[in-house]
Amino acid sequence: MEANRKWMKVNLSVPQFDVSAGINLKPGLQNAGLTKIFDWRQNGSASSLESKTSKYPVYLDSIHQDTRIKIDEKGVVAVSYIELNFGAGAAKPPDEIIDFMLDRPFVCAVTKSHIPLFLGTVNMP
């Protein structure tokens, strides 16, 4: 085995790229049999969740995954997250709808348990 080993130096050249993709996971999960958690009519079932702010059961409205990979001369950055959007069955529609557009610089924060994990500014939205 040792006689077949070969040591060599490799000069690797990889182009810079920045790719991202997203997928709606709800149809695949429903096709796999996970359906009750998406149905607000499952009132009181084991798959519905209780809300502290609504008398209606909470359900999973949508689930989406996004991924991004960036390679440049500085290295590799990769991130992936899953977004869960919950709703409450038979919730009353809003009395008023307003438009809110962040069209000027703003500060953003990603927190967990009131602890800031990421802080940043967007100067040119």
- Asked if the model's pLDDT at residue 32 lies above 90, the reply is yes
Return the minimum-mean-pLDDT range out of 1-15, 35-49, 73-87, 103-117.
35-49
Residue 82 buriedness (CB in 10 A; 0-12 / 13-18 / 19+): exposed
Please give the share of the chain, as a percent, with pLDDT higher than 70. Answer: 78
96 contacts 76 by C-beta, under 8 angstroms? no
CA–chain centroid gap for 12, Å, is: 33
The tokens 């690797």 sit on which residue? 12
User: What is the pTM (predicted TM-score) of this model?
Assistant: 0.52
- 88: closest CA among 40, 121, 120? 40
